[in-house]
Amino acid sequence: MSEASPQYLEGQLLIAMPGMPDQRFDRTVVFMCAHSAQGAMGIVVNKLAERISFPDLIRQLGIAVPAVKAQVRVHAGGPVETGRGFVLHSTDYRQESTLMVGDSFGLTATVDILRSIAEGGGPKHGLLALGYAGWAPGQLDSEIQQNGWLHAPADSEIVFDASIDTKWQRAVRKVGIDPSFLSSAAGHA
């Protein structure tokens, strides 16, 4: 009997189940940028960062632009490296350092992309996040087996649209589940 090969979730959405023990991930939707035997990395797409605006971030990083032309919300991408910026974006923008995730998404973490966005350029669709969600080897797989997460194919609408308050419900529906049927309490027969 052969052991089933692991299912890697790169390019998919990871959806926190109700009752997630780690409150930092309560009702989160994470776009999975990387997932392998070495671990996993993703960007939370439905939580905003508190107390920082895009123009403030540009000033703090010392990025010289005449004026910030773009209205960009800053997301809380996860609890790891919260001082580091990542832009999850459409594939119409690409640098040498861009990590391509499937055919529809790219991830870039350079000052150049922030400057381009501030000047009114950059990718057609993008999400700026501070920090990321990371898992050690086997950790995410274990959390999934313990019913901590659902997963679904990613789509640009859920990842990039501004309706943050409904992303979790829409992601759950994408799996074919009515969110009202999910409970944080475990039942016993």
pLDDT under 50: residue ranges of the chain: 1-5, 185-189
Specify the residue for token string 């050690």.
136
CATH numbers and ranges of domains, the chain? 12-176 (3.40.1740.10)
- Please list, in sequence order, all residues whose beta carbon lies within 8 angstroms of the beta carbon of residue 83, skipping any fewer than 6 positions away: 130, 131
What's this model's pTM, rounded to 2 decimal places? 0.90
- Please list, in sequence order, all residues whose beta carbon lies within 8 angstroms of the beta carbon of residue 175, skipping any fewer than 6 positions away: 15, 150, 151, 152
Q: How far is CA 87 from CA 5, 15, 35, 42, 95, in A?
A: 31, 20, 18, 12, 12
Beta bridge partners of 42: 32, 133
Q: What percent of the chain is predicted at pLDDT more than 90? A: 74
CB 111 within 8 A of CB 158: no
- Give the model confidence (pLDDT) of 66-94 as tens digits: 888 888 999 999 999 999 999 999 999 99
